[in-house]
């Protein structure tokens, strides 16, 4: 059979055939997308303008927020557009871009979360050497390495996936172009390149998970030996948000990639995909902001400065 994939659109999974439900879905995800954008962009702005937040922890947090904006912008706008226009198509080039950037940003985010766990380990377990170990050069190198690993995985996965043939059904059992869903509809019998890429990705994810687990073993061991309950409370308050983010992201990602792809996806499959690709970027700003006094203080300071500047301009005019 001849492969005519390049000349043909793919069809993405729809939540419902009912047009009213599609419109409702479109506005719901538009709301989620706008809230996620506002939350992550607010963190980026606060960390940039507030001198008190110019520390390694918030430097990583700012980059995590930027990755969250990029990740959710790859899939959700297309879902919103298709829902409101009652269409489910995506071009071949658009599908390639979605695969590349999703696989690009996910490993980058996992790498950054691993770097953040190491930062917390150094801050709590080796506080006297924190400034020397987590200097600006090291932090920049860690962020650059996360982007480098992400770009390598994005190139490997997208090349391995789209070197296959799609000569039968082009109905992707997913609301965006994802590797497992595309492998499901491929008619190629041999997937050597993508199989090797998946193995490398699993090993890399496992190493990151082991690093995070060991970091928190040392962290909790150190925290539990602290004599003052106030010190324990402060240490846990800085670690627990990061642990929640890591757990949510890794559990949903593993569930999305390791579960079998069904021939006819149901609501549960749709929800797993949403929790994996949409929810982490949406809840990260909430988790890091609600229990973080420094972020709250920076926000009030930023709002006060805006109000003061506008008030001063109004009096001058």
Which range of residues forms the domain containing residue 222?
5-316
Distance CA(184)–CA(148), nearest Å, equals: 28
What torsion, rounded to 10 degrees, do the Cα atoms 166, 167, 171, 176 define? 10
CATH number of the domain residue 226 falls in: 1.20.1070.10
Cβ contacts of 114 within 8 Å, gap of 6 or more: 208, 211, 212
What torsion, rounded to 10 degrees, do the Cα atoms 253, 257, 262, 267 define? 0
- Biggest alpha carbon–alpha carbon distance for the chain: 75
Distance CA(175)–CA(78), nearest Å, equals: 9
Say how far residue 229 (Cα) sits from the centre of its chain. 34
Q: What is the DSSP string of 84-121?
A: HHT--EE-HHHHHHHHHHHHHHHHHHHHHHHHHHHHHH
- Alpha-carbon separation of residue 136 from 67, 122, 132, 211 (angstroms): 20, 14, 9, 21
For the beta carbon of residue 103, count every other beta carbon within 10 angstroms.
25
Where would I find the H helices in 163-292?
179-185, 192-224, 229-258, 267-277, 279-290
* Residue whose pair of structure tokens reads 């070197």 in the numeric block: 163
Distance CA(107)–CA(208), nearest Å, equals: 10
Whole-prediction pTM: 0.86
- Alpha-carbon separation of residue 54 from 44, 59, 72, 139, 301 (angstroms): 11, 7, 26, 12, 15
pLDDT in tens, 240-299: 777 777 777 777 777 777 777 766 666 677 777 777 788 888 888 887 776 677 777 777
Cβ contacts of 177 within 8 Å, gap of 6 or more: 10, 12, 90, 94, 95, 96, 98, 99, 102
Per-residue pLDDT of the chain (317 residues; tens, 9 = 90+): 344 445 578 888 877 778 888 889 889 999 999 999 998 998 999 889 888 888 898 999 999 999 999 999 999 999 899 888 888 888 888 999 999 999 999 899 989 999 999 998 998 889 899 999 999 999 999 999 999 999 999 999 898 888 888 876 788 888 888 888 888 888 877 777 787 887 888 888 888 888 988 988 888 888 888 776 656 676 666 677 777 777 777 777 777 777 777 666 666 777 777 777 888 888 888 877 766 777 777 777 877 777 666 656 666 65
Domain count within the chain = 1
Distance CA(237)–CA(256), nearest Å, equals: 29
């Amino acid at each position: 059979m001849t492969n005519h994939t390049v000349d043909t659109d793919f069809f993405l999974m729809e939540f419902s055939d009912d047009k009213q439900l599609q419109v409702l879905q479109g506005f719901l995800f538009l709301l989620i997308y706008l809230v996620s954008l506002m939350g992550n962009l607010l963190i980026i702005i606060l960390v940039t303008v507030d001198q008190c937040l110019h520390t390694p922890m918030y430097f990583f947090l700012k980059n995590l927020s930027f990755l969250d904006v990029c990740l959710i912008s790859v899939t959700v706008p297309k879902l919103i557009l298709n829902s409101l226009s009652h269409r489910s198509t995506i071009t071949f080039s658009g599908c390639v871009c979605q695969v590349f950037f999703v696989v690009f940003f996910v490993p980058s985010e996992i790498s950054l979360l691993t770097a953040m766990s190491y930062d917390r380990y150094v801050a709590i377990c080796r506080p006297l050497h924190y400034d020397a170990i987590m200097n600006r050069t090291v932090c920049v190198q860690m962020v650059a390495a996360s982007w480098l690993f992400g770009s390598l995985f994005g190139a490997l996965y997208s090349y391995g996936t789209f070197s296959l043939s799609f000569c039968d059904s082009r109905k992707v059992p997913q609301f965006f172009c994802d590797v497992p869903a595309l492998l499901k509809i491929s008619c190629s019998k041999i997937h050597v390149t993508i199989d090797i890429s998946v193995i490398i990705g699993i090993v890399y994810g496992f190493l990151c998970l082991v690093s995070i687990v060991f970091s928190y073993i040392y962290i909790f061991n150190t925290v539990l030996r602290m004599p003052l309950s106030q010190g324990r409370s402060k240490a846990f308050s800085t670690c627990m948000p990061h642990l929640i983010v890591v757990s949510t992201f890794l559990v949903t990602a593993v569930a999305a990639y390791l579960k079998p792809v069904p021939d006819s996806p149901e609501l549960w499959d749709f929800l797993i995909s949403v929790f994996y690709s949409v929810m982490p970027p949406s809840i990260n700003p909430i988790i890091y902001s609600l229990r973080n006094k420094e972020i709250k203080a920076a926000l009030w300071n930023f709002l006060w400065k805006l109000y003061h500047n506008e008030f001063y301009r109004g009096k001058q005019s």
